[in-house]
A and B are shown apart, each in its own frame.
Chain A
């Protein structure tokens, strides 16, 4: 069974850093591009970042460019999101998702990041 499990969320103060992880299982991880998508409380979905299967290509939304870094360790079947200089507007549930045929076929349950003083 294809599964994605996010971890690393929590309550942090503005300006600090946090690293999210997404553990994948049930498929050949390195064969798939992976993304992070977030959802602020009561709001819609916002694409955050994408990384290719081999990790050589990365893409970021303008709202996080220069602050967030996506990476992956294919030997550990794990996706990461390093978030620096966090702001209140980064408060959201962060989902990792597997990219297939121009969409996202599998989603994790999400991890909540709350940025507040």
Chain B
């Protein structure tokens, strides 16, 4: 099974400042079809998860451009350019290359 490890697990940030979350997989996420199925989801308090980024770096419809994804192979990063109050919540990376697995989640809160 592929294990997804996120760091940090908690990220206090100042409004307007950047934030970064790392996600590492226990094996390469490059699929036999050439795609890398690594995505990022946001879960605001009391809400279901919401897709932000799919296939490493593609922003989903309606997602602000302050969110960006990068990485390759086993190491991936989600960056929030300038954190806004509405960005508070838990962020999960997820792989779908071999079945489906989520990271533990990273809680983003305002300092």
What is A's interface to B at a CB cutoff of 8 Å? 35, 37, 44-47, 50, 59, 61-62, 95, 97, 99-105, 107-110
Q: Is the CB of B51 within 8 A of A47?
A: no
What is B's interface to A at a CB cutoff of 8 Å? 1, 31, 35, 37-39, 41, 43, 48-51, 54-55, 58, 60, 90, 92, 94, 96-97, 99-105
Whether A50 contacts B48 in the complex (CB less than 8 A), given A101-B55, A103-B94, A105-B60, comes out as: no
Number of inter-chain CB pairs below 8 Å = 64
Q: Is the CB of A102 within 8 A of B54?
A: yes
A110 to B48, CA, bound (A): 7
Contact residue among A37, A47, A99, A102 (Cβ-Cβ distance under 8 Å from B35): A102
Whether A107 contacts B35 in the complex (CB less than 8 A), given A35-B100, A45-B105, comes out as: no
24 chain-A/chain-B pairs, Cβ below 8 angstroms: A37-B49, A44-B103, A44-B105, A45-B105, A47-B99, A47-B101, A61-B99, A101-B37, A102-B31, A102-B55, A103-B37, A103-B39, A103-B51, A103-B54, A103-B55, A103-B94, A103-B96, A104-B39, A104-B51, A104-B94, A105-B60, A107-B49, A107-B50, A109-B48
Q: Is the CB of B54 within 8 A of A45?
A: no
Whether A45 contacts B39 in the complex (CB less than 8 A), given A59-B99, A102-B96, A103-B54, comes out as: no
A100 to B55, CA, bound (A): 10
What 12 additional pairs, Cβ within 8 angstroms, besides A97-B49, A102-B97?
A: A35-B100, A45-B105, A46-B102, A47-B100, A59-B99, A62-B1, A103-B37, A103-B41, A104-B41, A104-B51, A107-B48, A109-B48
